Amino acid sequence: MLEPQLASVASESGADAYQNAILPKVSRTFALTIPQLPPPLRRAVTNAYLLCRAADTIEDEPAFSAEEKRRYEDAFIDAVTGRIDAQRFSAELAPLFSQRTLEAERDLVSQLPLVLQVTQSLGPAQRMAIVNCLKVMSHGMHDFQRNVGLHGLDTLRDMDCYCYCVAGVVGEMLTELLIDFDPTLASQREPLMRMAISFGQGLQMTNILKDQWEDYSRGVCWLPQDVFTRYGVRLEGLQAGQQDANYAGALTELIGVAHAHLRNALEYTLMIPAKHAGFRRFCLWSIGLAVLTLRKLQKNLDFSAGAQVKVSRRAVAYTIALTRLTGKYNTGLRWLFAAAAHKLPLTPLSAEWSSSPHTHLIWPKSAISYFAETA
């Protein structure tokens, strides 16, 4: 069984060993990219990802009501910040998860005190960045999950806000951790943050498009109504494998939006000095996998399951090899991205992505009333 095995690893080798053991069991992608980071960043980013995954596990548990999810999420933040006893919290919460939640995710929640040992050993700036991210994710995920259904999100702007709460804020957190690691980048904080949010948007949109039919099967749709309505498509009436040319037109437009955000993701990566080769690889591999996924989507607009547009192991290996060769050279990376994204549609981003009516808040955070009011 997984739980005893991982618990044994944890007791023998400590909290860091548990982090390293559980990471590949909850995310193959991050288990591939995070080890590229230099050790001080790798430890903090692994810890941050696992805590974000724990928060996501609470929100996704089908056995919990909306009220229970809000209560457990609030308690989770209190456990992370030390306001309540983490051992008692995890001991009470872990047995409540259903079998529909992955065994590794249930183990992660049950071993939360061990993960928090690492959190408590991090520097103050690292802990603050992680806690701020968790607060945004927990608040935002709950608000969107409470109202989601097969009707989708109302507008593309709402999709922007959702993607910020679950992915853009992670880009902000990673940037704060990077600046803490290399304070010379502090002068570039504003443009890095803007690009980081767009980076997260591109990755999350790619996942939404790839996983739309799996989401649909459990009564959830994160696609924007307004885009599909312009093409004469009702999201509630979609059926996997029975899409038409109108659906294909709407999906192509959204692929183009995700492509535009991934271009910003590349610009973000190129702003990182080449001496931080590991951080660049961490970014580039995520970008490469997303671009390849968009290509598969564009070639299979009538797909009916995420497995049909999954990137092959060979393509992953090819991407890793090429980015290792070109990772230090901006010109080479631009050429590589252009070649990978060749023939992908490109939809111009709305003006908010380059400017914001609230100078103290970057889009789409500026459109979320919670942040506008607190700011």
Is residue 154 over pLDDT 70? yes
Taking the C-alpha atoms of residue 321 and residue 285, their distance in angstroms, rounded to an integer, is 10
* pLDDT of amino acid 374: 60
Is residue 233 over pLDDT 60? yes
| pLDDT tens, position by position, 236-265 | 989 998 889 999 999 999 999 999 999 999
* pLDDT of amino acid 2: 47
* pLDDT of amino acid 9: 43
Closest Cα to residue 88, out of 113, 117, 121? 113
Is residue 221 over pLDDT 90? yes
Residue that is written with structure tokens 């700011």 in the block: 375
* pLDDT of amino acid 238: 92
Domains by residue range for the chain, with CATH: 13-123 (no CATH), 147-374 (1.10.600.10)
Closest Cα to residue 286, out of 26, 21, 105, 28? 28
Mean pLDDT across the chain: 92
* pLDDT of amino acid 8: 41
Q: What is the mean pLDDT of residues 55-83?
A: 93
Is residue 5 over pLDDT 70? no
Residue 335 is inside which H or E element, if any? helix 330-340
* pLDDT of amino acid 327: 87
Alpha-carbon torsion angle 196, 197, 203, 205, nearest 10? -160
- DSSP 8-class letter at 167: I
First to last CA, the chain: 47
Q: What is the mean pLDDT of residues 2-26?
A: 71
DSSP three-state, residue 224: strand
* pLDDT of amino acid 357: 54
- Written as six digits, the tokens of 88 are 């008692």
Where residue 285 falls among pLDDT bands split at 50, 70, 90?
very high
Residue that wins the pLDDT comparison between 161 and 1: 161
* pLDDT of amino acid 356: 61
Taking the C-alpha atoms of residue 203 and residue 196, their distance in angstroms, rounded to an integer, is 11
Where residue 375 falls among pLDDT bands split at 50, 70, 90?
low
Burial annotation 301-335 (CB, 10 A radius, 16+ → b, else e): bebeebeebebeeebbeebbebbeebbeeeeebee
* pLDDT of amino acid 271: 97
* pLDDT of amino acid 195: 97
* pLDDT of amino acid 354: 86
DSSP three-state, residue 166: helix
| pLDDT tens, position by position, 177-202 | 999 999 999 999 999 999 999 999 99
Is residue 362 over pLDDT 80? yes
Where residue 24 falls among pLDDT bands split at 50, 70, 90?
very high
* pLDDT of amino acid 147: 83
Residue 107 is inside which H or E element, if any? helix 103-110
* pLDDT of amino acid 1: 43
Taking the C-alpha atoms of residue 70 and residue 6, their distance in angstroms, rounded to an integer, is 28
Percent of the chain with pLDDT over 90: 82
* pLDDT of amino acid 39: 92
Where residue 7 falls among pLDDT bands split at 50, 70, 90?
very low
| pLDDT tens, position by position, 312-355 | 999 999 999 999 889 899 999 999 999 999 999 999 999 999 87
Percent of the chain with pLDDT over 70: 94
Distances (CA, A) of 56 to 102, 108, 118: 12, 11, 19
Q: What is the mean pLDDT of residues 78-103?
A: 96
